[in-house]
Structure 1
Amino acid sequence: MGGRVIGSAPLTGTEASGQLEVLQTATGRSIVRAVGPEAPLTQDRMAAEAASLAMLPDDVPTLAREWFVDEVLPGAGRWVVLGYRNEPVRPPHDPWDEADLAAAVELAIQIGTIEAPPGLPDTADVIDVGAWATLAETRPPGLAAFTPWLADKVDHLADIARHAGEAMAGKTVVHGALRRESIMITDHGWDATSAHAVDWFTPSQGASFLDVVLLLPHLRVDGAPPPEVLLDHHPLPDADPEALTCAVTATAGALVLESMRPPEPGMPHGRAVQREVAHAALEWLRSRLGN
């Protein structure tokens, strides 16, 4: 940071999560996220984000990273720290207001206009697009309790998802993990806002609409209008309706399957959140399939 830290405070709006701090030195400020050994999965994701940001195009809408630390400290274990340039940003309002909601959806659309750099994996290889096939084969006990609608639909959904590789293919950047926690807002006055994405730990390349597909169920859980209502206000350019339905099918299946697995280390409530988002994705899928 170029000097000794002389003060710190939570970034406005992140006091509850404790994830972001503003550190003050004699020469300036940085926005910092630091994670200790209590959350190894988050540490790995932050390290992956640092590597991803180094290869992503300059026009990707994110906070500018200034430095990165990944060290094992004597007596304190591993600490991973990301330092971002100090900018006037805040988390989205809770609950979402119309301006922040619009900025979030437009952020997802904007990311889908950026050409992916060489070396990014295909989104269909990052998301478990074969989840419905797995569920059709294994029929886990928890599936019947998930929602009665799935009782006679799993095989049909598996058939739709078999085309996900083609439906989700593309050459644009996909963030892959957009949700409230990964979005920062800048206010421009006169109620104008824009959004930036953080948590770039799993970028990939795919169809331009994929971040919208992945984001809208999370917004629905947060109290936003149904996905189809948001799409009416924020149309997806050049999105094929059948490809969109296939992508919704595949991602809903991945959420259902993931939500039924044991908790990840350091994230005891993660599966419960996934289950809520899976329900929202299934609600959207039912509306697109018309049944």
Structure 2
Amino acid sequence: MSAVRRPAWSDLPPSVRSRVSETLGGRVIGSAPLAGTESSGQLEVLQTASSRWIVRAVGPEAPVTQDRLAAEEAFLALLPDDVPTPPREWFVDEVLPGAGRWVALGYRDEPVRPPRDPWDEADLAAAVELAIQIGTLDAPPELPDALDVIDVGAWATLAATRPAGLSAFTPWLVDKVEHLADIAGHAPEAMSGKNLVHGALRRESIMITDHGWDATSAHAVDWFMPSRGAAFLDVVLLLPYLRVDGAPPPEVVLDRHPLAGVDPEALTCAVAAVAGALVLGSMQPPEPGMPHERAVQREAAHAALEWLRTRLGN
């Protein structure tokens, strides 16, 4: 999955560079992409005379991403102190002279990197364990219910509307939509809970720390849609995207990283609900500044449907 190219530090408007330098407490004297993000420009390491920061800046070309960063800033204030995320030190959301609205955030400079591309076994294990770890945390009561964030009624919508593109996913869907709607209808029992759900774990939202001796751990960014739900939900949401990235099939991953104490029927219901949400979501118009989002969603939908067929045995 390729991310939208973000501007590097040298590409930013002067008013943006001035405002970020002011926030950092000194003039930026050096910059370079964070290792592994050279092609996407997602993160830049900035050096002042006294400090180093990992910075992300988003301009008016990506208003949805700006809103997500603003939402993340609000949600981070609610999350538990032990949530696995890199230390975030500052946040700017302003309309700047001659540049429009810019949102920038700064992480403390620590030895982190994106997952390797393609995934290797250590990074894949760290990503899945991250999803499992997040699910062990209690969600703040202020967060929305996961059933209000994930469109668990997507199959029912698709059954009622029968959009023209539905059969293009796979002929298997043609006479299965009502059955899948019935399965997803059990989501209130299968997917409810009081555990923390990140809701948007992808390659781009995972940062890896190497500890030596081939040991790695993972941290999550992009906390723009956390919720309360079942402890295993982030694993279900993540595995289709990992599959698109070249990871083994979800059932193979789960054999290596089992979900302790999860009812198999509840897991199948969650896979069905997530697959439906991906299928329906991929049929919507693209959001501003995110031209590739629906195509990626469609790939993830295919991966989720393959997983669902495996679990249903057909």
Q: How does the TM-score come out when normalised to structure 2? A: 0.92
In the TM superposition, what is the alpha-carbon distance from 1:144 to its structure 2 partner? Answer: 1.3
Return the offset for 1:55.
Answer: 1.0
The match for 1:2 is 25
Paired position in structure 1 for 2:241: 218
Shift of 1:2: 2.4
Any stretches of 5+ residues in structure 2 without a counterpart?
1-23
How many residues align structurally? 291
**1:49 — aligned with what?**
72
Q: Within 2, Cα distance between the matches of 1:252 and 1:118? A: 27
Q: Distance in 2 between matches of 1:247 and 1:144?
A: 22
Q: Distance in 2 between matches of 1:127 and 1:19?
A: 26
The correspondence for 1:139, drawn from 146, 162, 165, is: 162
Provide the residue aligned with 2:232 in structure 1. 209
- Of 20, 37, 50 in structure 2, the residue corresponding to residue 27 of structure 1 is 50
Q: Deviations over 1:146-190 (max 9, x none)?
A: 110101000000011111122110111100000100000000011
1:232 and 2:244 correspond: no
Deviation at 1:4, TM superposition (A): 2.1
How far apart are the structure 1 equivalents of 2:28 and 2:188?
A: 49
RMSD of aligned alpha carbons? 0.7
Give the Cα separation in 2 of the matches to 1:131 and 1:116. Answer: 25
| Correspondent of 1:64 among 78, 87, 98 | 87
Q: Distance in 2 between matches of 1:157 and 1:108?
A: 25
Q: Distance in 1 between matches of 2:189 and 2:287?
A: 30
**In the alignment, which of 125, 131, 137 is matched to residue 102 of structure 1?**
125
Q: Secondary structure at the match of 2:113?
A: coil
Task: Give TM-score scaled by structure 1 length.
Answer: 0.99
**2:211 is equivalent to residue 188 of structure 1:** yes
- Deviation readout 1:174-230 (Å, 9 max, x if unpaired): 000001000000000111100000000000010000000000000001111000000
Which residue of 1 is the match for residue 106 of structure 2? 83
1:142-157 matched pairs, under 5 angstroms: 142-157=165-180
- String of CA shifts for 1:98-142, please: whole Å, max 9, x gaps: 000000000000000011112001111101100000000000000
Determine the C-alpha separation between the residues in 2 that align with 1:19 and 1:222.
18
Tell me how far 1:3 sits from its aligned partner: 2.0
Q: Which amino acid aligns with 2:309?
A: R
Distance in structure 1 (CA, Å) of the matches to 2:64 and 2:196: 23
- 1:73 and 2:96 equivalent? yes
Any idea what SS the aligned residue of 1:9 has?
Answer: strand
Residue 269 in structure 1 maps to residue 269 in structure 2: no
**Paired amino acid for 1:3:** G
